[in-house]
Amino acid sequence: MNAGFWPRLDAFVATALRWFVVGCLLGLFVLLTLGIVQRSVPALKLPGYDELIELLFAWLTFMGAAALWREGALYRVGALDRLLPPGARRVVGIGINLLLLTLLWVFVAKGWEFASQSGESTPFLQADKIWWYAAIPVSGLIMTAYHLAALWRLLFHPMPDVAPEVGLL
C-alpha cells in the first residue's frame, strides 16, 4: 500500500470529524433558536424538534471526543513523562496504551450491545433510537483505530524524547 495513503486517510478523517461536529453544533444552534422563536410565536409548531436535539447532541459529544482523541488533545498527566527515563517511559506508555485499548474495547462492545438491544423509538418521530445510541460504538471504533496506530508507533517506531500519546497517524 502506498505510504501516502495513511496520511491522506488521516487528513480525510480529521476533516470529516471536524465538519461533522461543526454540522451538529450548527444544527443544535438552529433547532434551539427555533425552539426559542416557537415559544414567542405560538402559531409556529415544531413537533419533535427536541428529539432531533437529542440526536445531534449525542453525535456531537461522541464524535467530538473521537476528534479530540485523534489529536491527542484529551486530558493526560504528563508528570511521569518528565520524571522517567526514556526506556521506562516507553514501558509505562505501552502499559497505559494497552489499558486504554481495553477500555475502548469495552466501550465499543457495550456501546453496540446497548444500541442494538435498546428497542426504543422516539415518541413523536417514531425513529429507532439505535441511531442515537450508535454514536457510542462508532466513535469508539474511530478512537480504537487511532489508538492502535499510536500503539504501533510506540512499539515499532519509538521516539524517546517524545511522550507517548495517541496523536496523528
pLDDT digits (tens, 9 = 90+) for 119-164: 888 888 888 999 999 999 999 999 999 999 988 888 887 665 554 4
Whether 167 is in a domain gets the answer: no
Whether 25 is in a domain gets the answer: yes
Comparing 80 with 134, which gets the higher pLDDT?
134
Q: How many domains does the chain have?
A: 1
> Once rounded to an integer, what is the mean pLDDT over residues 39-66?
91
Containing structural domain, residue 125: 5-156
Whether 47 is in a domain gets the answer: yes
Rounding to the nearest 10 degrees, give the CA dihedral for residues 85, 89, 92, 97: 180
Where residue 101 falls among pLDDT bands split at 50, 70, 90? very high
Q: Given the C-alpha cell 526514556, which residue does it identify?
A: 86
What residue type is 129 in one-letter code? K
- Per-chain mean pLDDT for the chain: 87
CA 26 – CA 20 distance, rounded (Å)? 10
CA 169 – CA 148 distance, rounded (Å)? 10
- Cα dihedral 101, 59, 23, 121 sign: positive
13-50 tens-digit pLDDT: 999 999 999 999 999 999 999 988 988 888 888 888 88
What residue type is 37 in one-letter code? V
Q: What percentage of the chain has pLDDT greater than the value 70?
A: 90
CA 112 – CA 96 distance, rounded (Å)? 24
The three-state secondary structure class of 121 is strand
Length of the chain equals 169
Comparing 14 with 76, which gets the higher pLDDT?
14
Angle between helices 5-40 and 49-71 (to 10 degrees): 150
